[in-house]
Amino acid sequence: MQQTRAVEIGTGLFVFLGFAALLFLSTQTTNLEAYIGKNAYTVTAHFNNVGGLKPRSPVSMSGVTIGRIEKIEFDPEQLNAMVTMNINSKYNQIPEDSDASILTAGLLGGQYIGLVPGGSDRYLENGDEIQLTQSAVVLENLISKYLFSQGSQGSDDSDESEEPRESNASREPEELQEPDEMQESREAQEPQGSEEPK
Amino acid sequence: MKDLLSDAWFTAREFLQTFGASQLFLLRLLMLTPRALLRPGLIVQQVYATGAMSLVIIMVSGLFVGMVLGLQGVDTLSRFGSEEAVGTFAGLSLIKELGPVVTALLFAGRAGTALASEIGLMRATDQLSGMEMMAVDPIKRIVVPRFIGGVISMPLLASVFTAVGLFGAYCVAVIVMGVDKGEFWSQMQPNVDLVRDVLNGTLKSFVFGVAASMLAVFEGYNAIPTAEGVGRATTRTVVITSIVVLVLDFMITAFTL
């Protein structure tokens, strides 16, 4: 009798400990509110380039996380990326003309969407689209732009001959990609977001 | 040359036969499982023997694995100037890989060997045949409760291992190496996903539990009824379970990533 009781107590303790550990793992190490918080409204925004943005990245305003990205997909009509985000319905007074931009947390951190409030007195509602957007900054583009401006001002011959070639090589994939997409779209719609520098 | 070929053929056939027999055995265990659940007393005893008795080794191993992760993580990440990411590093590696896999290997060593030698000794001392004489199905009475006990214990043990490991990583990274306390958790939380990481790790440990328990009772039940046979069965349990767990781990990871 004593033996069975010890066994039962030990088993109970073990099972309890196991479930406590599981509970700890699922509540303390994950962001559970992203799954529970269903009281949210969705807003979409189009970006020319989403960079490293991923689903479930945060949407923040003044540095406070107010929502998460639900999904990112390619919009075949506008030929750019459509980002759908869930915003906590607690924050239902975001002006309609707010500006959404893709930012990077730290040098190596993940990317997120930062909202900057506009001045309109109409608020964003479920299913609305944010019109003013700013794409992710692609580091390679910045570098190639910088190298180009260096190259045109450059004084040394060797610098001039080397650097533009390098930057051309790094831009090649984009230039190859761009005509493809434009061809498909030509009959459908005039592409809006081709600000590609020359 | 001919000898070598026939040897290889024999080995391959034997391997296939063992593999098929173990699958059939698993099927038989699963079919008997619902009925065995009607006698929870037997299962509680096995959960105690395989789970509760393994707690100490699991917790101590988990603590030290976590502490090493904390040390190595801080050391490696400080080269990139991002020591704070050690929370993410330790959390993801413990939850997704180390927790389930190391627990399964320890489980094979601590509980699997006990199951195999226990059942093997019953076989060697004719206790199983005795039961059959009395019209008691030894699989139903002896094997299935042990199998279910192992399957219940494994995910719980893996969760304990992971939680204790995180505690160890926290202690080393925050208290010893001086990483910020809040950063440790706040870097981990947005990067660990409930379904993709925690649930996936738990699923892994469940699958490993089924594999490890099944292999242990299979080896024990089919042990050659001599002292040497029981020893062989115990050894084979550890060896085969370790290999199967690592192979399964790769397969599950490849399919769910």
Tens-digit pLDDT profile for residues B138-189: 888 889 999 999 999 999 999 999 999 999 999 999 998 888 887 888 888 8
CA separation, residue A117 to residues A61, A99, A104, A131, B250 (Å): 8, 6, 19, 12, 47
Helix (H, G, I), strand (E, B) or coil at B155: helix
**Where are the domains positioned within chain A?**
1-30, 36-134, 139-186
Mean pLDDT of A5-17: 88
Which of A54, A120, A106, A61 lies closest to A88 in space, CA to CA? A61
Residue A48: what are its φ and ψ, rounded to 5°?
Answer: -70, -30
**Mean pLDDT rounded to a whole number for chain A:** 74
The answer to whether A18 contacts B51, with C-beta atoms less than 8 Å apart, is: yes
Question: Cα(first)–Cα(last) distance of chain B, in Å?
Answer: 45
Task: Residue B175: count other Cβ atoms within 10 Å of its Cβ.
Answer: 11
Q: Edge-to-edge strands of the sheet including A132-134?
A: A129-130, A40-47, A80-88, A64-75, A58-61, A111-116, A99-104, A132-134
| ipTM field | 0.82
Check: CB of residue B123 under 8 Å from CB of residue B225.
Answer: yes
Provide the number of CB pairs (under 8 Å) joining chain A to chain B: 84
The answer to whether B190 contacts A7, with C-beta atoms less than 8 Å apart, is: no
Model pLDDT, residue A153: 64
Indicate which of A3, A15, A30, A54 best probes the interface with B, i.e. most B CBs within 10 Å of its own CB.
A30
Q: Which of B44, B157, B185 is facing A8, going by the closest CB pair?
A: B44
Question: Residue B240 — pLDDT band, cuts 50, 70, 90?
Answer: very high
Question: Residue A63 — pLDDT band, cuts 50, 70, 90?
Answer: confident
Model pLDDT, residue A106: 66
Indicate which of A4, A5, A13, A25 best probes the interface with B, i.e. most B CBs within 10 Å of its own CB.
A25
Rg (CA), chain B: 21
pLDDT digits (tens, 9 = 90+) for B190-230: 788 888 889 999 999 999 999 999 999 999 999 999 999 99
**Mean pLDDT rounded to a whole number for chain B:** 91
Residue A86 pLDDT > 80: yes
Using CB atoms within 10 A of its CB, is residue B49 exposed (0-12), middle (13-18) or buried (19+)? buried
